[in-house]
Amino acid sequence: MMSFLFTLISFVVAISILVAIHEYGHYIVAKKLGVKILRFSIGFGKPLWLKRFGKDQTEFVIAALPLGGFVKMLDKRETEVDESEQHREFTSQPVWKRIAIVAAGPIFNFIFAIAAYWLMFIVGVSGIKPIIGEVDANGLAQQAGLVSGYEIIAINNKQTPIWDVAVKNIIPAIVDRSQAVFELKDKNGNKIKRTLDFSQTTGEIKVEYLFEQLGFKPWRPLIEPLVGTVIEKSPAENAGFKVDDKIIAVNQVKVKDWVEVVELVSSKPAEILQVKILRDGVEKTLQVIPEKIERNGEIVGRVGLGHKTGASYPEDMRVTHGYNVFESLPRAFSRTWDFSVLTLKMMGKIFTGEISVKNLSGPVSIARYAGYSASAGVARFLDF
């Protein structure tokens, strides 16, 4: 419950900041150009807070639904305009003024993004080194010669100190169906290059399934399949699972990692599973039927078990990615520009059907990532 509330609050804060910056761009430019502002609103719907300021008594509002905002200007298309205020009416302004007012919102967001990235790079972002884990047989990564244990140093000449950056550097090549040149470091410290060619890939591009398309998984420490929690009245509790049970097999498939358990259970919604466990040194087999739930638009199975925490990344895999004040500014501009271009490309490919509309982050995706970002610290939240 607390996690949900934290995610929700982080989401509202993130959206409100973006909306406020965007609408302030419209507001300040319109005001400087002599247009009368009637209302500046963060959110839609019933006002939760309203205050009037200035000689025009402009209404500043925080509304109930924090999913957008607007600046209401004097407009003869919406209300009757007194002759004495005709010169302050929006549609009566020269074309260049109207263009400036409309463009100010996106421009302010662009400037804010540069400032946020600049601050983020100065503060530094903590993350995990991009080490390649399991490589799929006959996948794109294996065909290119990627090997488990290799560290990704750069992609298309752009440094990749942590996984977040590596992912952001690979997506443009997938979207463009072009080549991605990986600069890698093997376990002996030797540097090599391998090329993943996306030009021959066919079908719909699904960026949400990034690693499935690449043909490898990020390296991570094994999570011992020990039961840490059993949800009350869940299929797992009904089946007799207890805390500290060690899961050793599901439907006769041996498991050594909690993620393997999750994958096996998720793939069998409403099907009978024979789960072999080790309890107090004695092997037992429990029968459980995963309940059906929807996750990311798909029906999967869930039994109501949580793992016992303990697995963590080695300290030498944890790094802080950042730059000094002067290096950060051009990198911030470059990051903002790259993502602006990528967003436009993705929108174009969504219209042509090459990319699933699921790749556009809706409110739910934004909420999840905003919560995760905030919990990871200020710098991560700025990268939201």
- Residue 304's nearest CA partner among 321, 289, 319 is 289
Q: Note whether 135 and 250 are same-domain residues.
A: no
Whether the model pTM is above 0.75: no
- Residue 182's nearest CA partner among 157, 148, 207 is 157
Place of tokens 């963590």: 312
Q: Note whether 171 and 273 are same-domain residues.
A: no
Q: Note whether 132 and 31 are same-domain residues.
A: no
Mapping DSSP onto H, E and C, the string for 265-319 reads: HHCCCCCCEEEEEEECCEEEEEEECCEEEEECCEEEEECCEEECCCCCCCHHHEE
Q: What's the pLDDT at 173?
A: 86
Q: What's the pLDDT at 10?
A: 74
Instruction: Give the total number of structural domains in the chain.
Output: 3
Q: What's the pLDDT at 354?
A: 66
Q: What's the pLDDT at 351?
A: 74
Asked if 4 and 372 touch (Cβ cutoff 8 Å), the reply is no
β partners of residue 185:
151, 191
Q: From the first residue on, what is the mean pLDDT of each consecutive set of 10 residues in the chain (384 residues)?
A: 65 84 94 94 92 92 88 89 89 94 94 92 88 88 91 93 87 86 93 89 64 83 89 94 95 91 92 95 95 84 87 80 90 87 75 59 40 42 43
Looking at residue 169, the DSSP 8-state letter turns out to be H
Last residue of a domain, one of 221, 254, 273: 221
Q: Can you spell out the DSSP letters for 60-84?
A: EEEEEEEEEEEEEE--TTTS---GG
CB count within 10 Å of CB 195 equals 11
- Catalytic hit among 23, 89, 151, 183: 23
Does the residue 312 lie in any domain? no
Q: How many helices (H) and strands (E) does the chain have?
A: 10, 18
Looking at residue 136, the DSSP 8-state letter turns out to be -
Q: What's the pLDDT at 381?
A: 40
Does the residue 45 lie in any domain? yes
* Known catalytic residue at 224: no
The distance from CA 276 to its chain's CA centroid, rounded to whole angstroms, is 36
Q: Which domain holds residue 165?
A: 125-221
